Structure 1
Amino acid sequence: MGGNRIVVYKEPGRVEVEDHDMPKLEVPADVAQAKGMSREAPHAVILKNVSTNICGSDQHMVRGRTTAPPGQTLGHEITGEIIEKGDDVQFLDVGDIVTVPFNIACGRCRNCREGATGICVNVNPARAGSAYGYVDMGGWEGGQADYVMVPFADFNLMKFPDRDQALAKIRDLTMLSDIFPTGYHGAVSAGVTTGMTVYVAGAGPVGLAAAYSAHLLGAAVVIVGDLNKERLEQARSFGCETVDIGQSATLEEQIDQILRTNEVDCAVDAVGFEATGHGGGEEKPAQVLNDIMSITRAGGSLGIPGLYVTGDPGAADPDAKEGTLKVRLGLGWAKSHSFVTGQCPVLRYNRKLMMAILHDKAHIADAVNATVIPLEDAPRGYQEFDRGAARKYVLDPHGMIPAA
């Protein structure tokens, strides 16, 4: 049948755009069987994707650093127009433009009812928490595509109030599916508020979103650390201080040059498990976690939106291959640090951040250097992103994103 182009992981370092069947109003067979759920999904909608983004989390799979099999469909950052809906979708209509949280949530389980939509227990047979187009996340088809199915639509989807306004601001609004709420969650989890000093490890899109969010929350100084000079320049473009962890000066020494103290009030890890040691070189997956404990004051908090996995076939040692890292927990205990990890519960934040965008209080697309490319250019986007481009690649499957 065909009719739905979708980005697919083929082997480490290679993705392709393939023609797949159009999505149906059905949940994956494994989810339905394991959870005693009907395969038919009258609670679902089909979206024509307006925009769908490439994420650093996708890159972990494409590098071969997860257990993702060849053929894994990709994409969990989705904004789209409803073109079909099930009989049980009551509060959304065909033609609505909506943002899709990357977390798939049923809206019915205890965790969803308590606002922890990143760890819904009904949408993934393997573990709590699910997402579109991601390994071990329930088998839901990816959203880097022309069309995608979204279940439990009334609960998961947020409609934009005005279609024309949404399309005009789509470069910013497309970030609501993941990186803006995720970065904001990292900053909130770290306790950022007025007058605080903040260190953000990593100047990729999530790190930049966390740094931008720290400014929104009133931080006095936001310091971003990375090895990539182009990405550090992007952080400086919206008022961040930066440290180059490739320099001979230590992280503490560089922070002291900025603050006249080698400690910050709080910190955010936006790197995750593919971290390297100071100065680059060999991989040290616990490096960032240990760094942020070292430089955060006693009593401070650590937000950890960076991805850590339970299966990493490319890890340097057997422990790290199953997510066991050499974290200096004793140091964190001695300093009474608070840690917050895991998927961001996007629904907790996306309406507030939408309002900030619509009323010109937030310009997240500029902060992360949003760069629009056609869906068929996704392989190029992955290659350039993997080489460290200081860009957030936004795929435009149907040519609906207005020219900048």
Structure 2
Amino acid sequence: MSTGTAEDLQVSPHASDGNHAIAYLGPGRVEVQTIDYPDFVLRDGPGVNPANVGRRVDHGVVLKLVATNICGSDQHMVRGRTTAPPNLVLGHEITGEVVEKGRDVEFLDIGDLVSVPFNIACGRCRNCKERKTGICLNVNPDRPGSAYGYVDMGGWVGGQAEYVLVPYADFNALKFPDKAQAMEKILDLAMLSDIFPTGFHGCVSAGVTVGSTVYVAGAGPVGLAAAAGAQLLGAAVVIVGDLNAERLERARSFGCETVDVSRGDPRDQIEQILGVPEVDCGVDAVGFEARGHGEGAKREAPATVLNSLMELTAAGGALGVPGLYVTGDPGGVDEAAKKGSLSLDLGTGWAKSLSFTTGQCPVMKYNRQLMMAILHDRVQIAKAVGATPISLEEAPDAYARFDAGAPQKFVIDPHGLIPR
């Protein structure tokens, strides 16, 4: 057990195990690298803000990773669609066992199994105290909000690794009440760090409630999680739209209606399902790499989903936007898109009195409730998103398969702890 000093870490019983992790090399390239075992001091490295170098993390814990997932947000970086630097260690969807704790950690113990929100939050600032943990003011010198292993998020080392450091652990970590029970449902619980709360947040932001009709744009893991979340909230009809036939089939597998946007404007297909060409609530689970509809599906058109949702959401309704939008996109379709500026049909949104909510999901606002829904068999989120365990060595191939549209959520199991 560490007290958080350098001397303790030199004799850590786990440090000799090494630490292997997935790193981004450049567009389309990731590899397994050997990196430093976690320290209770934030060191310099790829993407680390200089103001964070040397920052003490006596309030942190070291986790042995049990599950760490590949996310669509990671894929944006791997495609070269952000300003992520080479050798950035990836991974922000973290579930693990506490193997060391800093001297200031009071309420977690060695051996605890925890879920870690992808947003890093101090628990002390105004935003954290108002449950806005996605925009913590103290963990990223560049801007409000931070995350593990992500571009412009302060440089906290990613969790697609064997071991990872989690700061402000008493605040950030969600401890599972029964470790044996948690391991039986680990693939479901691994979704609590990001995609399940994120999809659920999109639905809550869109006003989904009992009897709602909902359109979710995007049948990737976040879109499928949003669809499952909408069902959990009591939606009457959940419609999922995408270009990928296999992903649409997965949405149908748990009771969703589907729209193939390669066939044209989703309004027409929605009218065939509902009898009217609009829904009560719209969710954008696609983000800035959106494509057009119909013949336009072959071309990237980053404002397509947002504009489509404003058209097909009923007047007075709301849009939840868990899909990622960035301020820097080297691969943007034009100079405006490269800076995150999109041609939005805001007039339509204004005329219809629509509201929309963007930004990181404040995971802690939802993760405990969703954990209880999983533990008590109210939702099977792993089945809904196609959770598939893989080894750390298989991760580069899984990135390629995910990029090609595989209807799966890849869960890296660095220590071989998840039953296949």
Q: For the superposition of Structure 1 and Structure 2, which TM-score range results when normalised by the shorter chain?
A: over 0.9
Question: Is 1:250–2:265 an aligned residue pair?
Answer: yes
| Amino acid across the alignment from 1:303 | G
Question: Is 1:43–2:46 an aligned residue pair?
Answer: no
Question: Is 1:5–2:20 an aligned residue pair?
Answer: yes
Q: Aligned residue for 2:288? A: 273
Deviations 1:258-288 (A, max 9, x none): 0000010010000000001112111100000
Q: Aligned residue for 1:366? A: 383
Q: Aligned residue for 1:25? A: 40
2:416 aligned residue (387, 390, 399): 399
Q: How does 1:124-135 map to 2 (within 5 A)?
A: 124-135=140-151
Question: Unpaired segments of 5 or more residues in structure 2?
Answer: 1-15
Deviation at 1:38, TM superposition (A): 6.8
Aligned partners of 1:28 and 1:139 also within 8 Å = no
| Amino acid across the alignment from 1:251 | P
Deviation at 1:310, TM superposition (A): 0.1
Deviation at 1:72, TM superposition (A): 1.2
Q: Aligned residue for 1:190? A: 206
Superposition RMSD in Å: 1.4
Question: Is 1:382–2:399 an aligned residue pair?
Answer: yes
2:306 aligned residue (277, 280, 289): 289
2:192 aligned residue (176, 184, 202): 176
Deviation at 1:362, TM superposition (A): 1.2
1:112 aligned residue (111, 118, 128): 128
Deviation at 1:65, TM superposition (A): 0.3
Distance (whole Å) between structure 1 residues aligned to residue 127 and residue 31 of structure 2: 36
Q: How does 1:1-400 map to 2 (within 5 A)?
A: 3-28=18-43, 34=51, 39-247=55-263, 249-279=264-294, 280-400=297-417
Q: Percent identity?
A: 68
Deviation at 1:250, TM superposition (A): 2.4
Deviation at 1:28, TM superposition (A): 4.8
Name the SS for the 1:318 alignment partner.
coil
Deviation at 1:257, TM superposition (A): 0.3
The 10-residue stretch of structure 1 (170-179 or 278-287) with the greater mean CA deviation from structure 2 = 278-287
- TM-score normalised by the chain length of structure 1: 0.97
Distance (whole Å) between structure 1 residues aligned to residue 118 and residue 71 of structure 2: 11
Distance (whole Å) between structure 1 residues aligned to residue 250 and residue 54 of structure 2: 47
Question: Unpaired segments of 5 or more residues in structure 1?
Answer: none
Name the SS for the 2:131 alignment partner.
coil
Deviation at 1:2, TM superposition (A): 8.1
Aligned partners of 1:290 and 1:327 also within 8 Å = yes
Aligned partners of 2:100 and 2:110 also within 8 Å = yes
Deviation at 1:39, TM superposition (A): 2.2
Deviation at 1:158, TM superposition (A): 0.7
Deviation at 1:32, TM superposition (A): 8.8
Deviation at 1:31, TM superposition (A): 7.5
Aligned residues: 401
Deviation at 1:25, TM superposition (A): 1.1
Aligned partners of 1:2 and 1:21 also within 8 Å = no
Aligned partners of 1:168 and 1:402 also within 8 Å = no
Name the SS for the 1:218 alignment partner.
coil
Aligned partners of 1:34 and 1:125 also within 8 Å = yes
Deviation at 1:11, TM superposition (A): 1.2
Distance (whole Å) between structure 1 residues aligned to residue 244 and residue 412 of structure 2: 24
| Amino acid across the alignment from 2:361 | C
